[in-house]
Chains A and B, each alone.
Chain A
Amino acid sequence: MVSITGVIARPTSYSGLWGWITTVDHKRIGVLYGVTAFIMFLIAGLEAGAIRAQLAQPDNTLIGPGTFNRLFTMHATAMVFMVIMPLSASFFNFVVPLAIGARDVAFPRLNAFSYWVFLFGTLLMHASVLVGQVPDAGWFSYANLTSTTYSPNDGLDFWALGLLVLGVSSVAAALNFMVTIINMRCPGMTMMRMPVFIWMTLITSILLVLAFPVITVGLVELVLDRNFGTHFFDTSGGGDPILWQHLFWVFGHPEVYILILPPMGVVSEILPTFSRKPLFGYPVVVFSGIVIGFMSWAVWSHHMFTTGMGPTALTVFTITTMLIAVPTGVKIFNWIGTMWGGSIDLKTPMLFAIGFISLFIIGGLSGVSHAVAPSDFQQQDTYYIVAHIHYVLFGGSIFGIFAGIYYWFPKMTGRMLGEGMGKANFWFTFAGMNITFFPMHFVGMNGMPRRIYTYGEEFGWGWLNSLSSLGYVVLFIGMLLFVINLIQSLRNGRPSGHDPWDAPTLEWSISSPPPVYNFAEIPRVEGRDPYWTTKRRAEAAGQPVAGPEAPVDVSTIHMPSPSYWPAFAAVGVVLIAAGLLTHYGLSLVGGLIALLGTIGWSNEPATAPQSHH
């Protein structure tokens, strides 16, 4: 087996394309996640544009019903699984080891593996576009619409297998971050001294690890139903379509918090930095996050109020759903308390963070309104729900993520994003978001159902829909400004220095971009907001901190070496899934590649002996 490992010499170089493919550096993997997910964000955003164009006027014939179904399915699936989750993963990767004072994650190669599986899973699902068999049953693909009777082409198989592959990636990454956060904190970094973003990453990882297996079983049963003649969700064989809904939402509701907790963590870092005072009620913010994590398992049936579960279930899930709003409200008051009396600096990250709070409050309140089962009966499957999810996922998650991009971009690249462009980006996005999604509350309450490709003029939904579509144009300009800002900054952005925001956490004590080894000397911390403590002490001593930690010779530090096995094993994993779509022989080949990859991987030490020590 040693000979297998030796077939191709182990990569030692960090440069070029091969350097990126074989990288195990958490910072580079974070960049890979970010770039891939941002491209998916633009694609899924354009899909939304096509949807808005079709709905701009009544009785529109721009896009046929079939294409419309495919568009909203791929838009939502991509936004949830290939945009928000990996953008959060990008921050997990880049920030977590830096903020806990570690040199890398616990399993650098597993981390690379997670990224490659994510990329290949994304490509697998989008290969459906190439063969013209695009998934079209909505992002939650309710049975029995997914049966071969109603979805005869391979689209749903692409969808199910693509999600299974993405699940492997998410669970592998989450396992890695749990171990990293619990086990790789620098001396003095106790749990209750960790930045809130790290806490939210930990809770999100726990939710991922426990929730994904449930959807995995649901997806496996769907694949079996469609390809192997079982009747899990088929009433003609005694099966129950509602079982799919239970399996989907037992995963799906923790998933909602998987999407929102990381941006909540991001905002909890940004608000103190730009208010120039520590987070108000740190333990309460942490514990409310933990409570949300627990309670996210007890609310899934509020997605299913209209399935006829009976009054007991309706009552219980109404109560639990209203209760889960409490810890979320607690967080919002803590954020407001953080800003209260602070000297607020309205830089772009702060604007997006405040935008997050205000829009998330609206989304949260509309959420509470359909927590009440009788009220939900009226709102179920209308545009009111579409308004709600976009206020929490766009106004919430995406705004939080943009806040994070503006905040950490200087650390990632060593350059500032343009502040003027950033503010324009914010105001266009904020206005566009509200013009697009606020009218949906009204058309929803006026009875416009979701997922219809057109509507009659006589319903009177026309002008509000035109307004929504106009909002998309504003939003589009906002995003265009961001892309321009990004390109300008990468080309000739203002150098940021190591600590442009006078921030409190450890990642700002090292140079931007950080050296491969992160910390020349592993830091010791004595409390929360350690870098503030360091800087204030130095100022009190009359010698303010002038620059980042001095660089050292990289060869003196023991770092994990690059490896091609993670990408190799990831190819095997996706071939197993691809084989189920085409020819089982391909699955066998994929299995062998994955096995070979595992053998090569486990025979290879984390640090190559010939590399630097």
Chain B
Amino acid sequence: MAHAAEHAIEETTTGLNHRKMLMWVFLGSDCMFFAALVATYMVYRGQSLTGPYPIDIIDVPITTISTFVLLCSSFAMVQALSATNRDDQRGIRIWLLATAILGAIFIGFQIYEFNHFKNAGLTLGTNLFGATFFTLTGFHGAHVTVGIIWLLGMLVVAMKGRLGPASSLDVELVGLYWHFVDIVWIIIFTLLYLIAGFDTGPAALPGG
């Protein structure tokens, strides 16, 4: 607790907390990471030599549900921060747990999807679609998993009654990360499912 109070009075040149600035810059770095993965996917779109192609196995309705679940988790995250600022101990625990559970449900959907794709004959090595799809969504899933572990860690702290307005920043940081991962998913969902999800073989694309 002592160090949380310390952070509150820490003087900085810009007035912005060090850790908050670190998180923003890190997210900028992470943007470039996902940008490179998305670029690889888009460059290789329609370049697979063998199937299965996206049209064969991408299931937009099911992923729409998991996307909705992930979006709801962002709402829960906002509630958790709000409860922290109000010092609503019960609210903090409920909403942190809700965020983690919704994230876990999303991961559950992803495991189901990966497994389903594997059974349908799509693995990392099958074709470029498999390689780029699993790499991009896999790294996103890993980010969500890290977020869940972080949230559960915060939950342990909350159960001890150690979260409150003084530690608002601790909750805000996990929130920043969580919302970022969520936004990345919106981009992935739009590109990989809504736009490229109906791609057939290589010939179907202009110039492909």
> A residues engaging B (CB < 8 A)?
1, 106-107, 171, 175-176, 178-179, 182-185, 189, 209-214, 216-218, 220-221, 224, 228-232, 237-240, 243, 247, 250, 595, 599, 602, 605-607, 609
For the complex formed, measure the closest distance between the CB of B72 and the CB atoms of chain A, giving whole angstroms: 27
Chain A residues in 8 Å Cβ range of B130: 230
The answer, yes or no, to whether B21 is at the interface (CB within 8 Å) is yes
The answer, yes or no, to whether B203 is at the interface (CB within 8 Å) is no
For the complex formed, measure the closest distance between the CB of A237 and the CB atoms of chain B, giving whole angstroms: 7
B125 lies within 8 A of A230 (CB): yes
- Given A175-B26, A224-B135, A231-B128, residue A184 in contact with residue B33 (CB < 8 A): no
Chain A: CB-nearest residue to B21: A179
B40 lies within 8 A of A243 (CB): yes
The answer, yes or no, to whether B43 is at the interface (CB within 8 Å) is yes
- What is the number of contacts between chain A and chain B, taking CB atoms within 8 Å? 116
Question: Nearest 7 pairs between A and B by C-beta?
Answer: A229-B125, A213-B33, A605-B3, A217-B36, A230-B131, A213-B32, A183-B12
Chain A residues in 8 Å Cβ range of B26: 175, 209
Show 28 A/B contacts (Cβ-Cβ < 8 Å), sorted by A.
A106-B18, A106-B22, A175-B29, A182-B14, A183-B14, A183-B21, A184-B13, A209-B25, A210-B28, A211-B32, A212-B29, A214-B36, A217-B36, A218-B36, A228-B125, A229-B124, A230-B124, A231-B125, A231-B128, A232-B131, A237-B49, A240-B44, A240-B47, A247-B36, A247-B40, A250-B36, A602-B153, A605-B6
For the complex formed, measure the closest distance between the CB of B188 and the CB atoms of chain A, giving whole angstroms: 14
A255 to B199, CA, bound (A): 36
The answer, yes or no, to whether B156 is at the interface (CB within 8 Å) is yes
Q: Say which residue of B2, B14, B21, B124 sits within 8 Å of A609 (CB atoms).
A: B2
A184 lies within 8 A of B29 (CB): no
- Given A237-B127, A609-B2, residue A175 in contact with residue B36 (CB < 8 A): no
- Given A183-B16, A224-B124, A230-B124, residue A210 in contact with residue B29 (CB < 8 A): yes
B125 lies within 8 A of A239 (CB): no
A179 to B29, CA, bound (A): 14
Q: Which of B79-135 touch A at CB < 8 Å?
A: 123-125, 127-128, 130-132, 135
B128 lies within 8 A of A214 (CB): no
B3 lies within 8 A of A224 (CB): no
Chain A residues in 8 Å Cβ range of B135: 220-221, 224, 230
The interface bits of chain B over 5-36 (1 if a CB of A lies within 8 angstroms of the residue's CB, else 0) are 01000001110101001100110111011011
Of listed A212, A229, A599, residue having the most chain B CB within 10 A: A229
Identify 10 new A-B residue pairs, CB closer than 8 A, beyond the known A213-B30, A214-B35, A238-B47. Answer: A175-B25, A184-B13, A213-B33, A224-B135, A231-B131, A237-B127, A237-B128, A238-B128, A599-B153, A607-B3
A183 to B43, CA, bound (A): 39
Chain B residues in 8 Å Cβ range of A240: 43-44, 47
Chain B residues in 8 Å Cβ range of A210: 28-29, 32
Q: Which of B130-155 touch A at CB < 8 Å?
A: 130-132, 135, 149, 153
Chain B residues in 8 Å Cβ range of A224: 124, 131, 135
The answer, yes or no, to whether B55 is at the interface (CB within 8 Å) is no
Chain B residues in 8 Å Cβ range of A247: 36, 40
Chain A contact residues, majority secondary structure: helix
Chain B: CB-nearest residue to A205: B25
> B residues engaging A (CB < 8 A)?
2-3, 6, 12-14, 16, 18, 21-22, 25-26, 28-30, 32-33, 35-37, 40, 43-44, 47-49, 123-125, 127-128, 130-132, 135, 149, 153, 156
A243 lies within 8 A of B43 (CB): yes
A209 to B135, CA, bound (A): 21
- Given A175-B26, A229-B124, A606-B3, residue A217 in contact with residue B21 (CB < 8 A): no
Chain B: CB-nearest residue to A215: B36
Chain B residues in 8 Å Cβ range of A189: 13
B29 lies within 8 A of A209 (CB): yes
B40 lies within 8 A of A238 (CB): no
A595 to B145, CA, bound (A): 13
A184 lies within 8 A of B12 (CB): yes
Q: Say which residue of B18, B33, B44 sits within 8 Å of A107 (CB atoms).
A: B18
A239 lies within 8 A of B44 (CB): yes
Chain A: CB-nearest residue to B3: A605
B48 lies within 8 A of A238 (CB): yes
Q: Say which residue of B2, B18, B35, B48 sits within 8 Å of A179 (CB atoms).
A: B18
For the complex formed, measure the closest distance between the CB of A134 and the CB atoms of chain B, giving whole angstroms: 27
For the complex formed, measure the closest distance between the CB of A516 and the CB atoms of chain B, giving whole angstroms: 19
Chain A residues in 8 Å Cβ range of B25: 175, 178-179, 209
A424 to B152, CA, bound (A): 61
A160 to B123, CA, bound (A): 23
A120 to B137, CA, bound (A): 30
A492 to B162, CA, bound (A): 55
A613 to B91, CA, bound (A): 36
A211 to B49, CA, bound (A): 31
A182 lies within 8 A of B40 (CB): no
A182 lies within 8 A of B13 (CB): yes
A216 lies within 8 A of B128 (CB): no
B29 lies within 8 A of A239 (CB): no
Chain A residues in 8 Å Cβ range of B127: 231, 237-238
Chain A residues in 8 Å Cβ range of B13: 182-185, 189
Chain A residues in 8 Å Cβ range of B12: 183-184
A238 lies within 8 A of B125 (CB): no
A332 to B3, CA, bound (A): 47
A239 lies within 8 A of B128 (CB): yes
Chain A residues in 8 Å Cβ range of B32: 210-211, 213-214
Of listed A184, A185, A230, A595, residue having the most chain B CB within 10 A: A230
Chain B: CB-nearest residue to A238: B49
B40 lies within 8 A of A217 (CB): yes
For the complex formed, measure the closest distance between the CB of B192 and the CB atoms of chain A, giving whole angstroms: 16
For the complex formed, measure the closest distance between the CB of A572 and the CB atoms of chain B, giving whole angstroms: 14
Chain A: CB-nearest residue to B18: A106
Of listed B18, B30, B130, B153, residue having the most chain A CB within 10 A: B18
For the complex formed, measure the closest distance between the CB of A282 and the CB atoms of chain B, giving whole angstroms: 20
Chain A: CB-nearest residue to B49: A238
Of listed B6, B21, B48, residue having the most chain A CB within 10 A: B21
Chain B residues in 8 Å Cβ range of A182: 13-14, 21
A229 to B30, CA, bound (A): 26
Chain A residues in 8 Å Cβ range of B6: 605-607
Chain B: CB-nearest residue to A606: B3
Chain A residues in 8 Å Cβ range of B22: 106-107, 175-176, 179
For the complex formed, measure the closest distance between the CB of A99 and the CB atoms of chain B, giving whole angstroms: 14
Chain A: CB-nearest residue to B36: A217
A606 to B18, CA, bound (A): 13
Chain B: CB-nearest residue to A2: B160
Chain B: CB-nearest residue to A522: B11
Chain B residues in 8 Å Cβ range of A228: 124-125
A212 to B30, CA, bound (A): 10
A232 lies within 8 A of B16 (CB): no
